[in-house]
Each structure stands twice: as structure tokens, then as C-alpha cells.
Amino acid sequence: MRMISLLARCAVPALVAFAVAGPAAAALPIQKWRQPSGAQVWLVESPSLPMVDVEIDFDAGDRRDPADKAGLASITADMTSKGIEARNGQPALDENELGEAWADLGASFGGSAGSDRMSFTFRSLTYPDLLPKAAALGARQLGEPAFPEAVWQRERQRIAAAIREANTRPGTIANRAFVQAVYGSHPYGFETTEESLSRITVQDMRNFYRLVQPCRAKVSIVGAVSRAQADQLATTLLSRLPATACQPLPPVPEIQALPAAAERNIPFASAQAHVLIGQPGYKRNDPDFFALMVGNYILGGGGFVSRLSAEVRQKRGLSYSVYSYFNPGLHAGAFTLGLQTRPDQAEQAVQVSREVVRSFVTEGPTAEELKAAKDFLIGGFALRIDSNRKLLENLANIAWHDLPLDYLDTWTQQIERVTAADVKAAMARKLQPDRMVTVVVGGAVAPARQ
């Protein structure tokens, strides 16, 4: 328990150190190299505190799920924390023993899966008598997960119960209908259901986990380690995965553009109607990324200062909150506009929201809106990297999307260079207001007028 307290005390000064450093933290040089196994490593040395944070990413996210076993990637990642096998003379550890082992080290290791990637995160103090032990345990959890059958049967029941409870909420129903309408048959639109859970077996997890190989790893490291130490840490963490030659993974089809507008009005007895409007957006590597970031801040990402908030909330009182965002990934993640309103106001709220989007795409931002957005984004940049963990998230983003190594150094300049014409052109390329999906749960809305 002493190590846990020490790690917690170190985390607080880390926040302060990065907050004081501000944008200068972005100038920390990013080092990159490839190991003999094929694993790629990105490193930012941060020697001020005796800590290290690691993220290891694999192309094994939800987009790799079989259509009839939606949720397999996320479940597989989560089950890696439920125990490790006995191998090489070391005893098996069940989930409780594994948790206690991490607590004794004052370190942590865990897996999760998102739309594109399966990620494993590791955190430890870097003391010489501690880090090698933590890395060795992380290697066992990453390379030798037990996938215990009894635990999976328990987890299956727990997840199924959570799904049944979520299905009683209008927000869940709205999101499900929206995702299916936007993504169609693409894996981004797959939904974990009780039926898909019933088809997933421990053997499915073991088979899926074969995607997790050193040659496919992208390892991001931030902390008080040198390049040599970081290379050894990455090698150790990956050492118990099978060292086989990587074959190219099958391509995942792209998301298709919507051919026409679509409306889904779903009856539901609730005090608020839930509204979602949107369409497929853009990939993360799109050259319009910064123009769209600025543009969406003005449209609906800027909270109470956005156009949507001004028209829907402030002028008409139709909703307390209205927002928009893009969710770019390896594929064209959705553009989403969302709000809640009284059922009898749903039609008006949708009409106003559609018109705001249409006029913004047509006209672009004003000079005042553009300046306010750029000032906010540039002024808030330091908060994006004010801790080791946030810096790790940014570094892993650079690694996963193969962004330039000077991405953080040039981030504010990229925002500063965006013009009103850039925003208008980018929004016009990405958004088609007359071909968006509209989902309303709990309030009737007339079809969009063409």
C-alpha cells in the first residue's frame, strides 16, 4: 500500500509541472524507432518525476469484430485482466490475485478496445527495484491471459443485465438507431446485444487475441526513462506474445455516404425527446482536420458560445444543451448533432438545428467567430498536455495515425493558419445538410423538406 500512496502523491506534482510548463511541454522531442520484432516505439522523455506511462496499441478494435459476434474485441480486451496462466515455472494468478499483485507494486495495467484499436496501458514508478517487476507482470498479463470460462460466464450475465437496463433508456434507443442509420453494415455500426454475447466463447477470444502480436504493436512511452530504458521496457512488455511473422490483415471496407435524408421517429414515453442528426464524417488523416476542428467549435462544439446554442437554446429556449462533434478514425466516423427537448418542441428544434447547419455550411464563419474559436483553442492547448497521461494520449494518437513527430510543436500554428475560407470549404466538402439522418425518440418530427 505504501507504493500506491507514493504513486498517487507523484501524480499531483505531475499535473502542476505540466500546467506550469504550458505550451513548452509540446517542445519535448519525440523519438521513434522500430524494434527487431517489428514493434514501433514512440518516446517522450519526462524526467521530472520517477514515473512512466505506456500505451500499446494493436489493430484489433471493434472494426475487427465478426458481424454475428459484436463486442468480441472489447470483451477480449477486458478479459485479459481476469487472470493469467501458469507458464515457465510461474504460477497462475486468478483475477483477485492479479489485482493484489498490481496493488503490491503500486502499478497498473489494463486493456480496452475502441472502434479501431485494442489498447493496453501501463503505469509504474521507475525505481530500479520496482519497474522491472512491474514490467514482468505486465508482460505476463499481456502475453499469457487465462480467459477463464467461469469468469466469462459471470461476465456475460453482468453485461447482458447492463444491456437490458440500458435498453430502458431513450438515449440508448436513439443512439442505436442513429449508429445503424449512419454506418449501415460497416463494423462501426455493430451493436453488442444479448444475442451476440450468447455466441461469444472463450475460444473466440483466444482466436481473436492472435491479432495481438509484437510486429503489430505501436508502443507510446512518456516518463522518466532514457531511450535505452524505454526500448528495454517495450521489449519486456511484449516478450511473452508469440513472436510470429505478421501477415497483412484483411482490409475493412469504407463507410458509404448516405444517398438521401432519412428520419426515424421512435415512440417513447419520456419527459424529454432525444434528437440526433448526422452523417458519416471524415477520417483522422484528412487534410481538413484543423479547419474542421475550428469550424465545429463555432457550429456546436463551443458549448454556450456556439451557433447552435445561440439559435436553439438562447434565442428560442428549445433545449438546455445542444452540441455537435466529429469522430474521425481510421474510417469516416460520424458527424453528430445532439439535443434533448420537450416532445412538443421536437419538430421545431430539429428544423432550427438543420437550418443552422445548412446556413453555416453555405456561409461559413464570421471573422468574429473565427477569432474567438482560434483564441479559445490556442489558449487551451496547454490543458491538452498538462499531465503525463494526457501527453501519453497525444503521443499514442500521433503513433496510431502516423502523424508527424512535430505534430504537438506545430499544433497552435496549424490552428492559427485556418482561415474563414478554409472552414467554409472544409465544411462544404464534409457535410451534406440535405442528406443527414435524423433520429427522434419521444417526439414526432415531420420529414425534412428537400
pLDDT at 167 over 90: yes
pLDDT band at 444 (very low <50, low <70, confident <90, very high): low
Quickly tell me which residue has 485479459 as its cell.
80
pLDDT at 434 over 50: yes
Per-residue pLDDT, averaged over 1-29, amounts to: 42
The whole-angstrom separation of Cα 273 and Cα 270 is: 7
Task: Say which DSSP state 220 is in.
Answer: E
The whole-angstrom separation of Cα 82 and Cα 213 is: 20
The whole-angstrom separation of Cα 300 and Cα 93 is: 48
Residues 377-424: pLDDT tens digits?
999 999 999 899 999 999 999 999 999 999 999 999 999 999 999 999
The C-alpha R_g of the chain, in whole angstroms, comes to 24
Q: Are strands 262-266 and 437-441 parallel, antiparallel or unpaired?
A: parallel
CATH no., domain 262-441? 3.30.830.10
Per-residue pLDDT, averaged over 123-139, amounts to: 98
pLDDT at 4: 39
pLDDT at 248 over 70: yes
Category of 442 on φ-ψ map: left (φ > 0), alpha (ψ -120 to 50) or beta: left
3-state secondary structure of 225: coil
The whole-angstrom separation of Cα 151 and Cα 155 is: 6
pLDDT at 256 over 80: yes
Quickly tell me which residue has 494468478 as its cell.
93
Q: What architecture (CATH level 2) is domain 2-10+28-238? A: 2-Layer Sandwich (3.30)
Of 244-253, 314-323, 426-435, give the lowest mean pLDDT range: 244-253
pLDDT at 122 over 80: yes
pLDDT at 1 over 90: no
pLDDT at 28: 73
Query: What sign does the CA torsion over 33, 109, 116, 323 have?
Result: negative
pLDDT band at 448 (very low <50, low <70, confident <90, very high): low
pLDDT at 431: 98
pLDDT band at 87 (very low <50, low <70, confident <90, very high): very high
pLDDT at 391: 96
pLDDT at 68 over 60: yes
Mean pLDDT of the chain: 93
pLDDT at 6: 41
pTM of the complete model: 0.92
Residues 136-155: pLDDT tens digits?
999 999 999 999 999 999 99
pLDDT at 16 over 60: no
Residues 199-228: pLDDT tens digits?
999 999 999 999 999 999 999 999 999 999
pLDDT at 74: 98
pLDDT at 5: 40
Name residue 316's amino acid. R
Beta-bridge partners for 43: 31, 221
Q: Do domains 2-10+28-238 and 262-441 have the same CATH topology?
A: yes
Per-residue pLDDT, averaged over 151-170, amounts to: 97
| Torsion angle defined by CA atoms of residues 395, 400, 401 and 402, in that order, rounded to the nearest 10 degrees | 80
pLDDT at 20: 32
pLDDT at 243: 85
Residue 136's nearest CA partner among 37, 239, 205, 210 is: 239
Sketch the domain layout of the chain as residue ranges. 2-10+28-238, 262-441
Residue 346's nearest CA partner among 424, 263, 238 is: 263
pLDDT at 88: 87
Q: Are strands 118-125 and 108-113 parallel, antiparallel or unpaired?
A: antiparallel
Q: Are strands 51-58 and 118-125 parallel, antiparallel or unpaired?
A: antiparallel
